[in-house]
Amino acid sequence: MTDTQDVMRLLAAAEGSETTLRATVDDLGSARVATLLTGEVCFRARLDELGPRMSTPVRVILEFQCTDQSFPTMITVEGGGVRVGADQPAHLPVTVVSQDLYEAVRTVYGPRELAATVSQAVRWPEMAVMAAAGRPSEAVPTAFYPIVQRIIRSLSRSEHADLAELAAECGTDKWSALHRYPEHYNRHFGPLRERRLNVLEIGVGGFDETGLGAASLRMWKHYFPRAVLYGLDIADKSSLDEARIVTVRGDQSDRAALTALADQAGPFDIVIDDGSHVSADVLASFEFLFGQLNPNGLYVIEDLQTSYWKPMFSGDDYDLTDPKHTMGFIKTLLDGLHHQEFLHVDARAEQPTDHWIRGVHIYHNLCFIEKGPNVEESPFANLMRRWENTDQSSS
């Protein structure tokens, strides 16, 4: 099984009973789970940000304990990045961050309210090592401290990362000179952060370069610590796959490709269209994928401005209500949201989404569509229909 498949099992087990959690860990194997945990903790800790500050490599051991077994892993942070699993040079003091394996699985992969750190400990070099060095600061260089702090915060789930900062650090343009999307994403996604989610983003980034992209997927991986992220792209981006990130090659306007994606990964809790931004592609994706969205899910369309741009995107800034263009289509969704208010059955053709869109939120170049039952009655419209029918009958 892949890393993501194994992590999905841990995500489910971590919100279940203690018996279920232990059975899942034992089935996957303690060593395997310790490896997955180490990778997840290192990712969330964003240790690569500290590398450029290190004048010399800094090494810390992350250790998970399970009954009578111990699973230690050396983590090296240096200017060139982060290395996991490197051997420890004999002349360096040992600083160890340790935690019970089962407790760590519950804390890292489970709901935040279940986080526990009862067994968590930091073992600094023994006093004999410090005494031999003359001063504690020489035995434990100050560069160790921010690394250990970040590891502990990741193990403890003690704070949430800011989405705007994540966007800038991960290299996505969702917060940049082009866009200011994080404040709107926070408004709608904030209440979902701690849930176990299936998220699809159309457009992995990096254009046709197979090894480039996934900046946005990594941002969402930080933001949603319990989500599995799928990225659909017309180019092969499989080299960017990692635990909790799976890329799928396909054209967003190809119904067969979308069907195969839904069969593999759906249904979804969130769909984000950051793909070609061509209206025909946007509408083709929505027509199929909205049906693959779970009730109470959110469908997001980015970069609405391209709906008005004829060059490159075949948009139109003259006919602003043409439903062949993204913005014109969204306006039809607003009519569907109020389908109960139309007095005449022939006023508009009923759409499949009329009864399943309960909210549309528009911001500058960004739209959130809430999926949910839209069955609220309209007593006034019903009354007006009766009045109109009575008037017609008496005339």
User: Which burial class, exposed, middle or buried, applies to 91 when counting CB atoms under 10 A from its CB (0-12, 13-18, 19+)?
Assistant: exposed
Cα distance between residue 184 and residue 321, in whole Å? 25
Query: What tokens appear for 295 in the block?
Result: 């009730």
Q: How many CB atoms lie within 10 A of CB 158?
A: 11
b/e per residue, 102-132, with b = 16+ CB within 10 A? bbbbbbbbbeeeebbbeebeeebbeeebbee
Give pLDDT, residue 296. Answer: 96
User: Which burial class, exposed, middle or buried, applies to 9 when counting CB atoms under 10 A from its CB (0-12, 13-18, 19+)?
Assistant: middle
**Whether the domain at 3-156 and the domain at 163-380 fall into the same CATH topology:** no
Q: Classify 3-156 by CATH class.
A: alpha beta
Cα distance between residue 390 and residue 384, in whole Å? 10
Domain ranges of the chain: 3-156, 163-380
Question: Tens digits of per-residue pLDDT, 41-74?
Answer: 999 999 988 888 777 788 899 999 998 899 999 9
Q: How confident is the model at residue 38 (pLDDT cuts 50, 70, 90)?
A: very high
Cα distance between residue 241 and residue 248, in whole Å? 10
* Separation in Å, CA 84 to CA 36, 87, 193, 215: 12, 9, 27, 21
Q: Is residue 277 among the annotated active site residues?
A: yes
* Separation in Å, CA 47 to CA 41, 57, 258, 288: 10, 12, 36, 40
Question: Tens digits of per-residue pLDDT, 160-180?
Answer: 889 999 999 999 999 887 889
> Is 163-380 a CATH 3.40.920.10 domain?
no
Give pLDDT, residue 234. Answer: 96
Q: How many CB atoms lie within 10 A of CB 230?
A: 24
Cα distance between residue 319 and residue 325, in whole Å? 9
Query: What tokens appear for 143 in the block?
Result: 């560069």
Q: Are 75 and 60 in contact (CB under 8 A)?
A: yes
User: Which one from 184, 188, 222, 277 is the annotated catalytic residue?
Assistant: 277
Beta bridge partners of 262: none
Nearest residue to 340 via CA among 355, 323, 362: 355
Of residues 376 and 287, the one with the higher pLDDT is 287
Nearest residue to 206 via CA among 257, 172, 254: 172
Question: Tens digits of per-residue pLDDT, 92-143?
Answer: 566 899 999 999 999 999 999 999 999 999 988 765 555 555 555 555 567 7
Secondary structure E strands in the chain: 58-66, 69-78, 81-84, 96-100, 121-123, 197-202, 227-233, 245-249, 268-273, 293-302, 357-363, 366-371
Cα distance between residue 23 and residue 28, in whole Å? 9
Question: Tens digits of per-residue pLDDT, 232-291?
Answer: 999 999 999 999 999 999 999 999 999 999 999 999 999 999 999 999 999 999 999 999
- Element housing 10 (H / E): helix 3-13
